[in-house]
Amino acid sequence: MEPISAKVLLEGLCPGEDISLTGVVTDSRKVIPGCVFVCFPGARVDGHDFARECYDKGAAYIVVNRILDGIPEDRQILVADSRIAMLKMGANYRKCFSSTLIGVTGSVGKTTTKEFTYAILSEFGPAIKTEGNQNNEIGVPNTLFRLDSATRYGVVEMGMSHAGEIAALVDAVRPQGGLITCIGVSHIENLGSRGNILKAKMEICKGLPQGAPLALNRDDAYLAGAQIPEHIHPVWYGIDDPAAQVRAVNIKTQGQGQSFTLLHEGAGEFQVYIPTLGRHTVYDALAAYAAATGLGLDPARCAQALSRYQSTGMRQRLVIRKGVSVVEDCYNASPDSMKAALSMFLEIPGRRHVALLGDMLELGQISQQAHRQVGEMAAQAGVDLLVAYGPLSEEMARSAREQGLEAIHCLDKEEAARILCQNLEPGDALLAKASRGTALEEILALYYEQ
């Protein structure tokens, strides 16, 4: 973060002195003189308990939800919700820079699409991106605080679990272009229907300027039928629908990646290689290309830059352990992403294909049905053995058995690791996928150690 006047950064929160602020932090260990420390009350740790320590270490202002003793009141910024304060400061800071930003949202594939978009934007100048999964009211401002005078481009991932959240995020980000990957069932527990999820994702349009490009998946039935605001310039991408302006044809597996011909109406065709597996990641690459070229970036350079994609975290990372090809995809899961992952997984050569699948969270009333559906998917995909982990996944295992697939259900991580050790041999392939809260990577760690 570049030094910024308190009057500018704190506009709308407090008058602010004419002093220079050095940063905004939410972790007391990262406090530096002249920063703003934002207190967040939590179930295990309450930032208010560290406020006095942060003030003593030089924090210029403390954002609080209640007035605290031991800190001058003119150094406390009292707010009802610290997340709103973070967004306000992020928005104020963003206004100081003319960097071109792309906003990314959607039910599935946001992070992979974000990484493809970053690979493209980095080709054209200094760029920033959302790190990890910092796509909420805290993470998005933290991304904006990394802007500086040298930043030409950026891609900001925007997640949500309730209506109105995307609108608030995009108001702070002020992107010049955007994209929506697809409309799935993630967060249906809060929103009630895919139609409501579509409305929530379409909130991104509210923050886009006149004529801004919005890349949309033409093969997604919900997006294809969406009402696009007049001020938006839609750029449709897809694989199956010939009406898409940006399409992929002749998709082929090539080593640990894929090649395809990218057809771009009015711009020509380009041969593309991406270092990812699975048809769903082709959609992610197309989305990034459509958004970037919609902003006027050179199509040929955008297509070539897709090959520089790099995976992050535990997302479809292919590693070899104990002679087994392991797809580590432990970050998130929904019926849509499970289907895509299983399809990709069977493309990986292996003597036997074993799937370690865990609970999918935040599915509400459709949870039981969704887990049964994934069990059926695993059987129909041709998996040789399903190891289902977690209480919700009992239905997954039961459904798989009904379809004739050998399936083992377990509630203990050590037991799941033992089952993997007993059933996997060199030359086999393993897919590990579940919602982040399931911590499936802990089972993998136990398996690797044994």
Using pLDDT thresholds of 50, 70 and 90, give the confidence band for residue 352.
very high
- Please tell me the distance from the alpha carbon of residue 92 to that of residue 33, in angstroms, as a whole number: 21
Confidence class for position 83, pLDDT limits 50, 70, 90: very high
- Cβ–Cβ under 8 Å, residues 409 and 394: yes
Q: What Å distances lie between residue 388 and 44, 148, 173, CA to CA?
A: 30, 46, 40
* pLDDT given at position 314: 62
Sign of dihedral through CA atoms 234, 235, 239, 243?
A: positive
6 sits in which H/E element: helix 6-9
**pTM for the whole structure:** 0.81
Question: What are phi and psi for residue 102, nearest 5 degrees?
Answer: -115, 130
Looking at residue 344, what is its pLDDT? 85
Q: Is the pLDDT of residue 20 over 70?
A: yes
* pLDDT tens-digit map of 93-146: 999 999 999 999 998 889 899 999 999 999 999 999 999 778 999 999 999 999
Percent of the chain with pLDDT over 90: 78
Q: pLDDT at position 339, please? A: 87
Strand partners, 213: 233
Contact 170, 208 (CB under 8 A): yes
Looking at the chain, the whole-number percentage of residues with pLDDT higher than 70 is 98
Q: What are phi and psi of 176, to 5 degrees?
A: -90, -15
pLDDT at residue 436 above 70? Answer: yes
**Predicted pLDDT of residue 69:** 94
Q: Identify the structural domains of the chain with CATH numbers, from first to last.
A: 4-82 (3.40.1390.10), 97-308 (3.40.1190.10), 317-449 (3.90.190.20)
Task: Characterize the bridge pairing of strands 212-217 and 177-180.
Answer: parallel
125 three-class SS = coil
Query: What are the distances in angstroms from CA 329 to CA 161, 293, 311, 317, 372?
Result: 21, 30, 11, 7, 20
Question: What is the average pLDDT value for the chain, to the nearest integer?
Answer: 93
C-alpha to C-alpha distance for 385 and 423, rounded to whole angstroms: 9
pLDDT-derived band at 254 (thresholds 50, 70, 90) equals: confident
Length of the chain in residues, anyone?
450
